């Protein structure tokens, strides 16, 4: 005689084992990346390969910063991410404008915003390069951040969220003599904290990982981001795996930390961007 709980457990156990195997296989490449990054060079090309290093060596990380220019790439990446946060404010403003005001041309403007979601980046990349080149912004960090600074989808999400803010509250603040900027800054933004948190995490991840725009816009090594610098290490494959894996870890570990801390926000954000 088995209890329903025990039966349920027994039914779930094989499933849990299968799922665990799948999860370990999915995450294994990251384990391999981390362990290889601290291996001495000779050991990384050893046959048979060892998962765990015999000794921990930080030489590869040291080389990234001393012989190669990864310190600069890291700094450039941080600057690009910071610039993208300015875009976050612009998108919140636009979402508020579309959610809470009636104005001439609103329908057409909103339709245009949504239309940009359907345009593939391959169509825009050459004209965007030509435009930025004309404006003298190629090979600048602003130029790298600019094409992806605002996204139609985030504006849409801000609008959806801000439509739920009560009109009476905003009207009351206006009657008390608050300026429009103040209404936005001290009522709308604080009330939008949940969506801001989600968007901030997504903006960080997108800016940190972005590859295509830095690749196209940055011609000069001075302006490379981590992603572009790392893609140059690609040619080193047969020569120096630990160096490559150290570079990869430098890009991946901050995102893993962000994910561990904000996983709820991240998953919710991606789900929203998926289902709407």
Partner 1 sequence: MIETIPAADAATHRAAQPASAAAARGRSRRGALTPYLFVGPAFALLVVFGIVPILVAAGVSVTDLDLRGLGDTDAVRFIGLDNYRRLFGDGEFWSALGNTGIFIALGVPVIIVGSLAVAIALSQSSSRFFRLLTGFYFLPAITAIVAISLIWGYLLNGQFGLINYVLGLIGVDPVPWLSDPMMAKFSVALVAVWRASGLNIVIFLAALQSIPKEYYEAASLDGAGEWRKIISVTVPLLRFAIFFVTVTTLIGWMQFFDEPYVLTRGGPTGSTTSISLYIYQQGFQFNEFGFASAASLVLFVIIFAVTAIQLRARRLSHD
Q: How many CA within 13 A on the CB side of residue 10? A: 6
Select 102 or 193, whichever has its Cβ closest to partner 1.
102
Q: Does 42 bind partner 1 (CB under 8 A)?
A: no
Site for partner 1 in 110-129 (CB under 8 A): 112-113, 115-116, 118-129
Q: How far is CA 82 from the centre of its chain?
A: 12
Least CB distance to partner 1 at residue 58 (A): 18
Site for partner 1 in 144-203 (CB under 8 A): 146-147, 149-150, 152, 155, 180, 184
Total residues interacting with partner 1, rule: CB under 8 A: 95
Query: What number of other Cβ atoms are within 10 A of residue 147's Cβ?
Result: 20
User: Could you please report the per-residue DSSP string of 125-180?
Assistant: HHHHHHHHHHTT-TTSHHHHHGGGSS-HHHHHHHHHHHTTS-HHHHHHHHHTT--H
Select 71 or 185, whichever has its Cβ closest to partner 1.
185
Residue of 73, 199, 247, 265 that binds partner 1 (CB under 8 A): 247
Least CB distance to partner 1 at residue 262 (A): 11
Whole-number Å distance between alpha carbons of 150 and 159:
14
Whole-number Å distance between alpha carbons of 160 and 152:
12
Select 82 or 130, whichever has its Cβ closest to partner 1.
130
Site for partner 1 in 70-109 (CB under 8 A): 87, 90-91, 93-94, 96-98, 101-103, 106, 109
Least CB distance to partner 1 at residue 108 (A): 11
Q: What is the DSSP letter of 67?
A: T
Site for partner 1 in 197-236 (CB under 8 A): 205, 208-209, 211-212, 216, 226-227, 230-231, 233-234
Q: What is the DSSP letter of 235?
A: G
Least CB distance to partner 1 at residue 271 (A): 5
Whole-number Å distance between alpha carbons of 160 and 96:
9
Whole-number Å distance between alpha carbons of 210 and 125:
14
Place of tokens 């990869």: 248
Distances (CA, A) of 19 to 10, 29, 32, 144: 15, 17, 20, 40
Select 1 or 237, whichever has its Cβ closest to partner 1.
237
Site for partner 1 in 2-31 (CB under 8 A): 11-12, 15-16, 18-20, 22-24, 26-27, 29-30
- Angle at which helices 70-100 and 193-209 cross, to 10°: 140
Residue of 56, 62, 82, 133 that binds partner 1 (CB under 8 A): 133
Site for partner 1 in 256-275 (CB under 8 A): 256, 259, 263, 266-267, 270-271, 274-275
Least CB distance to partner 1 at residue 109 (A): 6
């Amino acid at each position: 005689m088995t209890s329903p709980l025990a039966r349920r457990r027994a039914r779930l156990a094989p499933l849990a084992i299968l799922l665990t195997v799948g999860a370990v296989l999915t995450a294994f490449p990251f384990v391999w990346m981390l362990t290889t990054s601290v291996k001495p060079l000779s050991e990384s090309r050893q046959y048979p390969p060892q998962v765990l290093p015999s000794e921990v060596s930080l030489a590869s990380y040291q080389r990234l910063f001393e012989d190669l220019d990864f310190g600069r790439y890291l700094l450039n990446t941080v600057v690009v991410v910071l610039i993208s946060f300015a875009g976050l404010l612009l998108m919140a403003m636009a979402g508020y404008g579309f959610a809470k005001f009636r104005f001439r041309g609103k329908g057409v403007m909103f339709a245009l915003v949504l239309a940009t979601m359907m345009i593939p980046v391959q169509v825009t990349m050459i004209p965007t390069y030509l435009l930025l080149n004309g404006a003298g912004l190629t090979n600048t960090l602003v130029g790298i951040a600019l094409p992806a600074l605002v996204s139609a989808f985030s504006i849409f999400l801000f609008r959806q969220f801000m439509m739920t803010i009560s009109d009476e509250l905003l009207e009351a603040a206006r009657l008390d003599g608050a300026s429009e900027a103040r209404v936005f800054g001290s009522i709308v933004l604080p009330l939008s904290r949940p969506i801001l948190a989600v968007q901030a995490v997504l903006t960080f991840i997108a800016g940190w990982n972005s590859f295509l725009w830095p690749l196209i816009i940055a011609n000069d090594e001075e302006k490379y981001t981590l992603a572009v610098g790392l893609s140059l290490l690609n040619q080193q494959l047969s020569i120096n795996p630990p160096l490559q894996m150290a570079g990869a870890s430098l890009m991946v570990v901050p995102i893993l930390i962000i994910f561990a801390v904000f996983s709820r926000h991240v998953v919710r954000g991606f789900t929203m961007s998926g289902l709407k």
